[in-house]
Amino acid sequence: MSDKNHEAREEMQDAIRKRQERREAWDKDGERPLWKNLSMVGALGWLVVAPTLIGVFVGRWLDGVFETGVTFSGALTFLGAGLGFYLAWRRMNEE
């Protein structure tokens, strides 16, 4: 058997094993309660909103200090949003 076929077979076996584990967990625990889902959505929202707002406020302050229009505001808003989405992505992959 070639290495490529062997790797594909192992990937398929891993996928099947993960699917079985998820199914067993679902049978044991059932669906998460609504309040838990809502709290997770709220937490993820704040993970995105907080860094974005910090970027806006720091950017506006720097634009005022250096009289640069919206240069810092735009850049730091974008960076804050990017950081927030990254943090939310990491948080979702932990659960």
Task: Give the span between the Cα atoms of 82 and 49, in whole angstroms.
Answer: 11
What's the confidence (pLDDT) of residue 3?
82
Among 2-6, 9-13, 42-46, 57-61, where is mean pLDDT lowest?
A: 2-6
58-94 confidence digits (pLDDT tens): 999 999 999 999 999 999 999 999 999 999 999 988 8
What's the confidence (pLDDT) of residue 32?
82
What's the confidence (pLDDT) of residue 4?
84
Answering whether pTM is above 0.75, one says no
Question: Average pLDDT, stretch 37-52?
Answer: 93
CA 44 to chain centre: 8
